[in-house]
Amino acid sequence: MKHRRKKEKTGKNNTNRIKYHKQKQDGYNAGPSMKTKLILGFLIPVFCIIVLGLLSYKKASEKIIENFESATIATINTTGEYYNLILKNIEDKSLQLLNDTILKRYYSGYYSSDTAQENEMLKTLRSNIAALSTSDRMIKNIAIFTSYGKEILSQGAFQTKGGLTPYEAYIASKEAEEVLQAKNNPVWAGYHPFLDESLSVRAEEYGLSLIRQYYSSNVQPMGFIVIDVRKDIILEVIKELNLPEGSNFAFITPDGREISLTDAEEPVFTNQAFYQDTLGLVERNGYQYVKVDGKDFLYIYSRAGDTKLYSCALIPAEYLTRQTEVIKIFSIILVSISAIIAVATGIILAGYISKTIHKIMAALAKAASGDLTIHMEIGRRDEFGRLSESVNHMLSNMKKLIQKATEVNQLVLSSSAQVAESSGILLDTSKNIGTAIHEVQKGTIEQAEDTEQCLRLSNDLFKRMDQVLASTYEMDSSMSSAKQIITEGVVFIKELKEKSLITSDRNQITIQNIHTLEEESRSVSTIIAVINDIAEQTNLLALNASIEAARAGKAGRGFAVVADEIKKLAEGSREASGKIEEILCRIQEKTQITAEAVKETGQHILSQNTALDNTVNAFYNINHQVEQLIKGLKQVGMEIGEMEQSKNITLNAIMNISAISEQTAAACEEVESTSENQLESVTSLYQAALQMQEQVGQLEEAISSFRV
């Protein structure tokens, strides 16, 4: 009953221990799972992909805008340079006219002495000027008028008022002031209202005009040269620009005329502050972003040479951003696909790894709770597969160890039960022997007292001869009973010795099994050390992986989380092996205590065997003495009839009886002392057997926590 209550208590403790382990495991799972961490780890590169997409889109947009800006600026600058070539060509034509020898002779009065020749030369010059204007596609009209001679026009005729010559009428107008101030330099103008009115020309028929003073042979100003540039030449260049929709381009003259394809009544550039700022700049080319009517535009300007004519353009900023929309959409699609692939890959890998880790954790949890019947099958060939094989190997060896320990424990338990039973029987027998010896001693003492009384009352002895004879018969019967008891005691002692020998043999077998159990425990300790080494190596690999991930920077963060989780798994394996090692240490301690108890029991058994040998010898002596006593009693019975004849013989016989009684009493005392020693040895043996049973029960409790 006591042992059963202990087993029930042990079962409760095991249940509590398993519940505590489950609570601990549930508390551990309360944190983020490895699957969640791996998915979060994969979301980091997804975030990096998104950032990369945004940066790529931004950089590409900036580069496209920059390239478009550069291309547009280059186009506008090239257009400005082209206009500058046109202007240079017109200036060269004006210089050609200014330095024409025939023209100078005519206007210098070289032919004034011969009117016919002068008129002929005038006709020739007009024909040449008309041919020049016609042959050059850039020139619309050429007009030369001076203070001497007739005006020369490529087309049309002057119509002045008040009888003034064209020269006199023009020099009196405001238009001539700027030309006169420029002296030998040409002046570019978008409009010349005086000449338009005088020649009946509309401003829409030309684009701009070069006006410069005409000098005589002695380098004196004497007139003006006016060359009108075709408007369509300027417009052709604008048409070929192929600017984006909503753009504005204009070739602007110093007097504010804007030549463009729109022909808007209101100026687009000249009334803007940014254009006025451009007029004060030293740089020939430039650009900036401006706002016009609440919209953003790219404003580009290019000055034609050293003149004050500008090629200006306004490009809608929204057109630039529209060019990047395709890249934006493509980037969004590509980033979305990459993110979906990365997240899906992360979820699949995280689920796969998490599933494997959960299998291993569940198996180790069962093993830690004492269930060694599990066998992991994860179907992998990587580190997890090798880890599962190592765990299976460890569990197999532990299972063999526990089975061996269970067998040894059962054997020890059986032997201890037999020892306890034999010790109980031996204890009872020893007590009975002690009681019998005490009774024999008591009878011997009474016999001695009676013998002394016989000596003192020798006279009465003869009177009560009949009574003595009867007492002699009774004593003979008692001696026969004592002899039978002694014989039975010898048999009991022999049986006790045989059982002691069996107990000693079982004790030696138990010691050998315990030594075998210790060696098996050391083997398991070696296996646990190997597992700890594997855990340390895994921990080192995780540390190296963390270092490499740190070197890789952001790209290696996911791998760092995976390495950290592997490191935690290695630490968990090491912790589990540590717990198993603690259990083995407790088993080894219990085994050592049991071995010491069994050795002590063996020593008690050896002492018991020695005491039994002494007891057997004592019983043989007692038996011999009792036989002698029986013989004496018989002799007494034979001689009682002769007592009356020989008193001295009777007294001597009584003295002999007294001496024998004293010897018997001494022998009984010795036997009683030996019996007491035997009783003590048997009691110690019984206590050792109970202690061994208790130790075996503790060992059984420790082993029962495992399922094999």
Average pLDDT, the chain: 79
Q: Identify any residues that bridge with 215 across adjacent strands, giving them in sequence order.
A: 221
Query: What residues contact 290, with CB distance under 8 A and at least 6 apart?
Result: 272, 274, 296, 297, 299, 314
Q: Phi and psi for 372 in degrees, rounded to 5?
A: -100, 15
Which pLDDT band holds residue 447 (cuts at 50, 70, 90)?
A: confident
pLDDT over 50 (residue 104): yes
What mean pLDDT do residues 155-173 have? 85
* pLDDT tops 70 at residue 705: no
User: Mind listing the pLDDT tens digit for each residue in 352-404?
Assistant: 677 777 777 777 777 777 776 777 776 666 677 777 778 777 777 777 777 77
Which of 40-44, 280-284, 592-596, 663-667 reaches the highest mean pLDDT? 280-284
**Would you say residue 650 has pLDDT above 80?**
no
Give the per-residue pLDDT at 54.
Answer: 78
pLDDT at 334: 80
What global pTM score does this model have? 0.45
Q: With the C-alpha atoms ordered 259, 263, 266, 268, is the resulting torsion angle positive or negative?
A: negative
In degrees and rounded to multiples of 5, residue 579 shows phi and psi of: -65, -45
Is residue 8 predicted with pLDDT exceeding 60? no
- Name every residue whose Cβ is closer than 8 Å to that of residue 447 and which is 6 or more positions away in sequence: 475, 657, 661, 664
Percent of the chain residues topping a pLDDT of 90: 19
Dihedral pair phi/psi, residue 208, rounded to 5°:
-155, 170
pLDDT of residue 188: 95
* Cα distances (angstroms) measured from residue 269 to each of 62, 88, 212, 284: 27, 24, 27, 17
Q: What distance separates the 2 farthest-apart alpha carbons in the chain?
A: 231
Confidence category of residue 645, pLDDT binned at 50, 70, 90:
low
Q: Work out the pLDDT band at 351, boundaries 50, 70, 90.
A: confident
482-521 residue pLDDT tens: 778 878 777 877 787 777 778 778 778 877 877 787 777 7
Does the pLDDT at position 23 exceed 50?
A: no
Going from N- to C-terminal start, the domains of the chain cover 99-233, 387-704
- Percent of the chain beyond pLDDT 70? 87
Q: Any idea what the Cα angle at residue 303 is, between residues 301 and 256, rounded to 5°?
A: 80
pLDDT of residue 647: 64
The CATH code of domain 99-233 reads 3.30.450.20
pLDDT in tens, 122-162: 999 999 999 998 999 999 999 999 999 899 998 888 887 77
Strands (E), 21-129: none
Looking at per-residue pLDDT, the higher value among 636 and 3 belongs to 636
The reported pLDDT for the residue numbered 578 is 82
pLDDT, residue 656, reads 78
pLDDT of 10: 47
**pLDDT level of residue 347 (50, 70, 90 thresholds):** confident
Q: What is the pLDDT of residues 235-294, one digit of tens each?
A: 999 988 888 888 899 999 999 999 988 866 788 899 999 999 999 898 999 999 999 989
Q: Can you give the pLDDT at residue 252?
A: 93
| pLDDT band for position 5 (cuts 50, 70, 90) | very low
Q: Check pLDDT > 70 for residue 469.
A: no
Q: Indicate whether 696 pLDDT > 60.
A: yes
For the chain, helix (H) and strand (E) counts, in that order, are 16, 10
Q: What is the CATH number of domain 387-704?
A: 1.10.287.950
